[in-house]
Amino acid sequence: MRRIAIMGAGGWGTALGVVAGRAGHAVRLWSRNAAVVESINRERVNSIYLAAHRIEGDVRATTNTGEALRDAEIVILAAPSHATRALLARVADAVRPETILVSATKGIEIETGQRISEVVRDVLGAEYAARFVCLSGPSFAQEVAARQPTAVVAACADQSLGETVQAVLSFENLRIYTNTDVAGTELGGAVKNVIAVAAGMCSGLGLGANSIAALITRGLAEIVRLATAQGARLETLMGLAGLGDLVLTCTGGLSRNRFVGQELGRGRKLEEILASMHEVAEGVRTTRAVKLLAERLNVEMPITDQVHAVLYEDRSVRAAVAQLMARPLKGE
């Protein structure tokens, strides 16, 4: 039995708490939302973000970061990427040096272009960054909580720490693999959200399977170019954290990022779409971060450029598709 703190009680943070509770661990879920905390503690469900699934075992929620982190051996960061730096600064004095930090967040910081591991190093220092594990892969929260078979990756420069997270969180339907490619695992999980917005746009326009297949394939090429420019390994991007997560998010009906793109393709305004959603669609902000990072690294990412133009430059979805199809012909 391990003591686990989960910082962020949205759908994915709660689903990880559900799995860890079933596995017999002591879990403390932190949320800034008092209604979420009360629902978990009193009704044993997260009525806002994961209402259909009962929370079992020694899982308790709190709005107090100190209470959540007390004696925690593993701390899972499950807040949106744009809130992670502030969260780390808030908990810096309460996180012990021997703690394993696990990121369950899929995004890139816009202001700096940093991955979550780099934000951890920036805020907490190299000692904590050395114990950083990225947990990523094709994993809708609702399906994990519903005991549907799911496989993800725990990536850490220290193989033994990745194996610790693997052993602690693998239970029943959740199977965790390990690798040591943190950059590839983080970037696969972040950039696929941008491509998923594009996939949703295709769906919203009524385009068919040909279009989605081409988009996923060329989107993977963009992910590979950006990630390998930052030292990632190709085999990581062909695995669960790359291709696996990309296929799920581009085709799955539970994908928030695909939903945003789909609604844009149907003619709705971005502000209206986001206002109707309970949880964050990471791809909206991540598009800005990825575009800036790609420009800095001189990496060509035409799909990302068109998603950015739709989200932030008032380009129509149909015009974005036309721009992609009109690009100069070239070898694959």
Of 106, 192, 291, 330, the active-site residue reads: 192
**Are 5 and 74 a contacting pair, CB within 8 Å?**
yes
DSSP, collapsed to helix, strand or coil, labels residue 92 as coil
Two tokens, residue 1: 């039995």
DSSP, collapsed to helix, strand or coil, labels residue 182 as helix
**330 catalytic residue (yes or no):** no
Using alpha carbons, list the distances in angstroms from residue 240 to 74, 124, 191, 295, 325: 23, 29, 14, 27, 29
- Report the alpha-carbon distance of residue 114 to residue 317 in Å, rounded: 29
In the DSSP assignment, the letter for residue 138 is S
- What amino acid occupies position 284? V
Query: 188 — phi, psi (to 5°)?
Result: -60, -45
Annotated catalytic sites, by residue?
192
